[in-house]
Chains A and B, each alone.
Chain A
Amino acid sequence: MNRKSLAPYLMLMPVIILLIIFIYGLLNGIIQSFGILKAAGLDKFSLEYYKETFKNTSLLNSIKVSLIISGVSSIIAVILGVALSYLFCRTGFVNNRAYNIFKLPILIPHIVVAALVINLFSQSGLFARLCFLLGIIDSQQEFIPMVFDENFIGVILGYVWKEMPFIVLVVATIMSNIDGNLGEAAQNLGSTPYKAFLYVTLPLCLPSIAMVFIIIFTFSFGAYELPLLLGPTFPKALPVKAYIEYTHPELAHRPYAMVLNTIMIVVTSAFTIAYHFLMKMINRKTEVRAYD
Chain B
Amino acid sequence: MIKGVLIKLVVFIAIVSIIIPLIIIAIWSIASSCPWPYLLPQNFSLRGIEEFFGGYSGAVNSMLTSVLIGIGTAFCAVSISIPAARAIKLYDFYGKNIVDFLLLLPVIVPVTSFAMGIHVFFIRAKLNDTIIGVIIAHTIVSLPYTVKIMSEVVSAIGNKYEVQAYVLGAGKMKALFKITIPLLMPGLVSAFSMAFIISMGQYFLTFLIGGGTVVTLPIRMFPYIQSGDRQIASMYGLMFILITLVVLLISDRFVRKYYSFSTTYFFS
Contact = CB atoms under 8 A, between A and B. Distances in A.
A19 B102 contact: yes
A3 B94 contact: yes
A260 B165 CA distance: 55
A28 B118 CA distance: 7
Interface residues of B, number: 82
A134 B21 CA distance: 20
A120 B116 CA distance: 33
A26 interface: yes
Given A87-B7, A111-B218, A129-B39, A269 B109 contact: yes
Contacts of B14: 84
Contacts of A8: 87-88, 91, 93
Interface stretch (A44-52, A101-109, A177-185): A101-109
Contacts of A22: 105-106, 114, 118, 140
Interface centre among B19, B25, B110, B111 (most CB of A within 10 A): B110
Interface centre among A11, A98, A261 (most CB of B within 10 A): A11
Contacts of B88: 8, 12
Interface stretch (B51-59, B169-177, B199-207): B199-207
Nearest to A9: B93
B172 to A, nearest CB: 13
B113 A15 contact: no
Given A11-B87, A272-B101, A276-B100, A169 B267 contact: yes
B110 A115 contact: no
A101 B19 contact: yes
B120 A28 contact: yes
Interface in A190-221: 214-215, 218-219, 221
Contact of B226 (A24, A129, A229): A229
B83 A11 contact: yes
B136 A18 contact: yes
Interface string A64-102: 000000000000000000001001101101000010011
Interface string A232-266: 00000001001100100000000001100110110
Contacts of B83: 11-12, 14
A3 B93 contact: yes
Contacts of A102: 18
B120 A39 contact: yes
A60 interface: no
Contact of B11 (A23, A91, A130, A257): A91
B8 A109 contact: no
Contacts of B259: none
Nearest to A18: B140
Interface stretch (B42-50, B180-188, B238-246): B238-246
Contacts of A24: 117-118, 121
Contacts of B106: 19, 22
Interface string A103-135: 111111111101110111000101001101100
A222 B109 contact: yes
A261 B36 contact: no
Nearest to B200: A109
A61 interface: no
A98 B15 contact: yes
A288 interface: no
B87 A222 contact: no
Contacts of A111: 201, 203, 218, 221-222, 225
Given A115-B230, A272-B101, 14 more contacts: A7-B91, A22-B140, A25-B117, A104-B241, A107-B201, A108-B241, A116-B22, A223-B111, A229-B225, A239-B204, A242-B116, A261-B112, A261-B116, A279-B100
29 contacts: A5-B93, A12-B88, A19-B106, A22-B118, A23-B102, A25-B117, A25-B118, A28-B118, A30-B117, A105-B18, A107-B248, A108-B241, A109-B218, A111-B222, A112-B241, A115-B236, A119-B230, A119-B234, A218-B109, A222-B110, A224-B112, A224-B204, A239-B112, A261-B113, A264-B110, A265-B109, A265-B113, A268-B110, A276-B104
Interface of A: 1, 3, 5, 7-9, 11-12, 14-16, 18-19, 21-30, 32, 39, 84, 87-88, 90-91, 93, 98, 101-112, 114-116, 118-120, 124, 126, 129-130, 132-133, 140, 161, 165, 169, 173, 214-215, 218-219, 221-225, 229, 239, 242-243, 246, 257-258, 261-262, 264-265, 268-269, 271-273, 275-276, 279
